[in-house]
């Protein structure tokens, strides 16, 4: 029998079902006084929060640090994913694309620094991509996580 790989949706479903059977819901965070408010999974490089199924998948990994990066993003910051660490697969959709602006002869229009000018175009159909991300706890060379204290008083 051939070794079949589960689809992304099947993998996520299996993980969530397993967590629920263990009595934990990955989308619930135990709140305690003094906990940092930046536990939500977000991309360290862009600062964007992961949403939807990606947020659930990353929260189910039960990491204390909410920062996630691709291998390439970690390398670009001078950090290094530890040898043997396993990444987490996420999916994302592109609805637009950046292309070179062309003149009437089909040649790229350039700016003052002789770089092609880019324009954003809407794709006819969205494209889905997969990426592998690593948590900051799996990466050496990142600065410590900045703890963001809530700007409200829970006792008021």
C-alpha–C-alpha distance, residues 68 and 57, integer Å: 12
pLDDT digit string, tens, across residues 80-130: 999 999 999 999 899 999 999 999 999 999 999 999 999 999 999 999 999
pTM: 0.69
C-alpha–C-alpha distance, residues 58 and 21, integer Å: 18
pLDDT digit string, tens, across residues 39-57: 689 999 998 999 988 998 8
C-alpha–C-alpha distance, residues 54 and 60, integer Å: 10
Q: Bridge-partner residues for 116, per DSSP?
A: 110
Locate 24 and state its tokens.
């934990």
C-alpha–C-alpha distance, residues 6 and 1, integer Å: 15
Q: Output phi, psi for 136, to 5 deg.
A: -55, -25
- Res. 146: pLDDT tops 80: no
Contacts 24+ apart (CB under 8 A), 76-82: 76/45, 77/44, 77/45, 77/141, 77/142, 78/141, 79/139, 79/140, 79/141, 79/142, 80/139, 80/140, 80/141, 81/134, 81/138, 81/139, 82/138, 82/139, 82/140
All residues at 6 or more sequence positions from 19 whose CB lies less than 8 Å from its CB, including other chains:
25, 26, 60
C-alpha–C-alpha distance, residues 139 and 58, integer Å: 16
């Amino acid at each position: 029998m051939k070794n079949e790989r589960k689809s992304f949706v099947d993998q996520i479903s299996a993980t969530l079902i397993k967590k629920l059977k263990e009595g934990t819901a990955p989308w619930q965070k135990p709140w305690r006084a003094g906990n940092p408010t930046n536990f939500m999974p977000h991309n360290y490089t862009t600062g964007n929060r992961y949403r939807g199924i990606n947020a659930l998948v990353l929260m189910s990994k039960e990491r204390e640090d909410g920062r996630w990066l691709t291998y390439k993003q970690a390398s670009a910051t001078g950090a290094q994913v530890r040898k043997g660490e396993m990444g987490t697969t996420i999916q994302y959709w592109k609805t637009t694309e950046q292309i070179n602006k062309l003149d009437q002869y089909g040649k790229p229009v350039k700016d003052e620094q002789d770089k092609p000018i880019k324009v954003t175009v809407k794709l006819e159909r969205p494209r889905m991509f997969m990426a592998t991300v690593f948590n900051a706890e799996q990466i050496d060379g990142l600065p410590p996580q900045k703890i963001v204290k809530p700007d409200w008083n829970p006792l008021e």
